[in-house]
Amino acid sequence: MKRLLLCALMGIVHSCERPPSPSHPNIVLLVVDDMGFGDVASYGHPTQEYTSIDRMAHEGTRFTQAYSADSLCSPSRSGFMTGRLPIRLGTVGGKRIFQPYDVGGLPKNETTMAEMLKQAGYVTGMVGKWHLGINAHNRTDGSHLPSKRGFDFVGLNLPFTNAWECDTTGEYYKNGPDPSRCFLYDGDEIVQQPIRFQWMTENLVHDWRRFLQERLQKDQKKTPFFFYFSFPQVHSTQFANPSFLGSSVRGMYGDSINEMSWAIGEVLDSLLKAGIAENTLVIFMSDHGPHAELCLNGGSTAGLKGGKSNSYEGGFRIPFIAWQPGTVKAGRVSHEVISSMDLYRTFRDMQNCPQQRGDLPTRNQHSVEATTVFGWNKHTGGTIHYKTSPIFLNDTVDPNLSYFCPNGKPRADWYVSASCPDEHLTTHDPPSVFDLAKDPYERYALEESDFVKQMRSQGANIVKEHRQTLVPVPIQMGHFDKNVVPCCDPPACRCDKITRREKANEEPSLHYPSVYKFFEGIGGIKGGI
């Protein structure tokens, strides 16, 4: 009965009369770091080469109004990993992201999607960026690493991030690389400090293949898997191996996207070759908006205002694509409003999982019905985003109550963002109201009117109701201890224990196939930008 109800809601499947698969669907979550809403061809970029991301959009469903949980890495990732707002997790404060010297991490009393799916019978794995905490007591305890948060297999991973200080060219960081902020793990062990990015993507693909091959050799028909492939691209600093250098007319940023997209193609092709693509749901998304201050090296919002770290559309609206041959409709474009936090509940409901620890009643304050993620029902209204300082309301027609930080330091051909503590915020009082359906670029705040007053009143009531549900939790960021900074060979903190594991077997595709239907507009607006 539940399956028939689900089928009735699934407006994007071809048929509900197919026999059930031998197991629950496998799930692959592909997350790119700092990529903007308009950074690929299928989202309107005029010069980015056609890549496997666009292939996913052509063969699956592309969403135009997907939002992240936050506009910075750690809070955003904590949000989609648990399905809960960062303010409810305590992943706020401090420097707004987990630093190598932070003793905090994603709270242990919260259930990650890996832990939830593992309890549902899945085998779980991940590679790439983590950024949800490292050590709590010393430089090796690994209290917050992914292996402690539900992942059975953990290959090469960056517990912190691809930081500016990891630059080896001198373009971003003249004194780099800094070993205290640049380290690569294999499982729970440091294998490279500082990081060398030359063969990074190939090695991550190798670990994905290693995981998949093990599943195929064991009990794939009985035991489904969940794999989290978290790319270090296109965070500063950008990188590309020799096979992809010069592959894009956009320069290094485009090269980096081409290399990352090659890896996505390898994932999709390996699923098809193994004959399990029809039973594998693949989700692609960015963790938040681009580092717009870096101009050509910082990504594109497709004209949306703002970017990483701020509250305008460009910071929160993200590319989001679902792919599953035979289930997810090919070539579909959805304008439904969804959130990256919806994934947790979606994955849970796909398994009919009971509630786990961390599934507090407040989860439904910000997570819409699971079926919404794939367009299985109609418009569901706005999503409240509550983070470090401001409150955000994003909807198709309703206003965006926004704050902005005007700080910044010009440098040559790009712009260096400055920190923006509360005292530097310009507060709109009363809040500025934008009609995102008619003005998705937030260029013109609506003039004062009875309608605007009504919208402000409704927004204030939503904010008030939201705040009433907040339960004080320990703040996880900003508790520093230099003794927890990872170090592979004290006191030098330098080592290199890995080699090139797998060579890229093809050059990037540099053409625009005539069969592809390009960008159809932002929100409900048709046409290009």
Residues involved in catalysis:
73, 131
Closest CA to 392 of 329, 306, 325, 488: 306
Q: Which uninterrupted H or E stretch holds 299?
A: none
Cβ proximity of 44 and 50 under 8 Å: no
Residue 5, Cβ neighbours under 10 Å: how many? 10
Q: Which uninterrupted H or E stretch holds 268?
A: helix 252-273
Q: Where are the alpha helices (DSSP H) in 369-520?
A: 450-468
Q: How many angstroms separate the CA atoms of 315 and 402, rounded?
A: 12
Cα-based angle 122, 329, 378 (whole degrees, multiple of 5): 90
Q: Which uninterrupted H or E stretch holds 273?
A: helix 252-273
Cβ proximity of 409 and 418 under 8 Å: yes
Read off the amino acid at residue 196: R
3-state helix, strand, coil in the chain (%, to 5): 30, 15, 55
Q: Which uninterrupted H or E stretch holds 411?
A: strand 409-411
Beta-carbon contacts of 247 under 8 Å, excluding residues fewer than 6 positions away, are 49, 240, 254, 255, 258, 259, 507, 508, 510
Q: How many angstroms separate the CA atoms of 383 and 364, rounded?
A: 11
Q: How many angstroms separate the CA atoms of 291 and 34, rounded?
A: 7
